[in-house]
Amino acid sequence: MKNPGIAVLLSFFLTGLGQIYNGHILKGVLMIVLQIVNAFLVILFIGMITYPLVWVWGLYDAYKSADRINQEKTRLQSTVFL
């Protein structure tokens, strides 16, 4: 089981880390790289919009992914016992 709170907390400190915690390694690494690009885009002021948007999306996605993983595991466990 994945803890959605831990996933969000990890993504709070580093966008993509919550996805890695959830087992979505490629998505997490891509989000980290995207935030690095956004950090450089702050120079052009574009990053001032894209950086917080990707950060918030990362928080939301980490929570929803952990919740979805837990629901699937619960559903699979309930079908095994039936």
pTM surpassing 0.85? yes
* pLDDT tens, residue by residue, 6-50: 999 999 999 999 999 999 999 999 999 999 999 999 999 999 999
Number of alpha carbons in the 13 Å side-chain half-sphere of residue 9: 5
SS3 string of 68-82?
Answer: HHHHHHHHHHHHHHC
Q: Which of 77, 62, 64 is nearest to 28 (CA)?
A: 62
Sketch the domain layout of the chain as residue ranges: 4-81
